[in-house]
Amino acid sequence: MIKNALRILQTPSTSSVHFRNLSKAPSASPSKPEKWDLLTAICVERKPALTPPLTDLEKEYKQYLQEVEYERSLKSDHEMKLEAEKKVLESLKAGETIEDLDVNLKQTAQDFADACVEELAQFKPADRLTEADRRNDLKSLQRKLDKHLVLVVQQRIGKEKHFLLPQGLRQDGESLRQTAERVLKENCGSDIQARIYGNAPCGFYKYKYPKDVRGGGSGGAVGAKVFFYFARYLNGRLPEKDVDYKWLDRKELYKTLPAPYNRSVSEFLFDE
């Protein structure tokens, strides 16, 4: 469906600028309302699984809080035991004989502390960097676990191919949200599941078609209005064939998208 819609735009055109800043585009006569194609794009975002690393100030503040907490605290049972044992040892060294033969038999507090430290040293928490990070695999969902990743799909607009959010034309009788759901299915396969946030579009972008295409096969529309829907990735994978896609964090996303389009997208996305 979307490919058909976009193929219409593939009629030979000399201008390669399809993403045009609308404010500069000449407006048609006010008497006749312009016809616009309504498109829906869906912004699928994967939530980060890991917390972002602490900044220097955050680390410093954490350290400070820990120090203050230690100073204000009372001694724990373990510390009391440790001190008591120390006293016993000192008095033993001094030559006093206390009938404490079972001291050697049981595990002392110091032994317990040593064992704990050793166990902690042996434990290695899971790596924050994954295999996908090392290979820089843009298609993997396992990359950049502490970042929000947005799905972009390669699509033909006119003659050129662009990495854009999955988008498609609205069909008659559909609400925009239903279009968004259908667009996701058609572009990214039926395996991937995402939860759309709300019925309202969260962003808007419009562009005019090049002059020689305008009013031709696309039913006389002068351009397209794209309504963005935000969705949270739930699970599932994209098909390996047919679709060229990438999962990008914010920086990469803003570099990849065409500039005017990017302005609209970055407006509704949350900062990291």
Partner 1 sequence: MSVSNIISNLNRLSLQATVRQAVLYRNISASSAVQFRITPSLLAEPLKKKKRLDPAVIRAREERRKKKIEKQIRRLEKNARQLKPIDECEVSLQILDERDKRVRHLPSVSPEVLDKRAKIEKSWCQYKQQQHLADVQMLDRVSFAEQKALDELRKESEELYQQAIQPDFYFIPFSCQGPVETLPIENYDVPDGDYVDVSKKWE
Which residues of this chain interact with partner 1, rule CB under 8 A?
A: 36, 38, 47-51, 57, 60-61, 64, 68, 71, 73-75, 80, 119, 125-126, 128, 145-146, 175-177, 195, 197-204, 206, 225, 227-228, 264, 267-271
Q: What is the closest distance, in whole angstroms, from the C-beta atom of residue 51 to partner 1 in the complex?
A: 5
Q: What is the closest distance, in whole angstroms, from the C-beta atom of residue 243 to partner 1 in the complex?
A: 26
Task: Please answer whether residues 228 and 165 qualify as being in contact, where contact means their C-beta atoms are separated by less than 8 angstroms.
Answer: yes
Residues 6+ away with beta carbon under 8 Å from 235: 192, 193
Q: What is the closest distance, in whole angstroms, from the C-beta atom of residue 47 to partner 1 in the complex?
A: 7
Toward partner 1, which CB reaches closer, 3 or 128?
Answer: 128
Instruction: Measure Cα distances from 42 to 62, 124, 164, 180 in Å.
Output: 39, 39, 10, 6
Nearest in space to 265 (alpha carbons), one of 151, 139, 146: 151
Q: What is the closest distance, in whole angstroms, from the C-beta atom of residue 112 to partner 1 in the complex?
A: 14
Instruction: Measure Cα distances from 128 to 48, 67, 110, 146, 258 in Å.
Output: 12, 27, 33, 8, 31
- Residue 192, classed as helix, strand or coil, is coil
Q: How far apart are CA 176 and CA 173, in angstroms?
A: 10
Q: What is the closest distance, in whole angstroms, from the C-beta atom of residue 39 to partner 1 in the complex?
A: 11
Nearest in space to 188 (alpha carbons), one of 150, 236, 238: 238
Give residue 91's Cα distance to chain centre.
Answer: 62
Q: How many angstroms separate the first and last alpha carbons of the chain?
A: 35
Task: Please answer whether residues 123 and 130 qualify as being in contact, where contact means their C-beta atoms are separated by less than 8 angstroms.
Answer: no
Q: What is the closest distance, in whole angstroms, from the C-beta atom of residue 145 to partner 1 in the complex?
A: 7
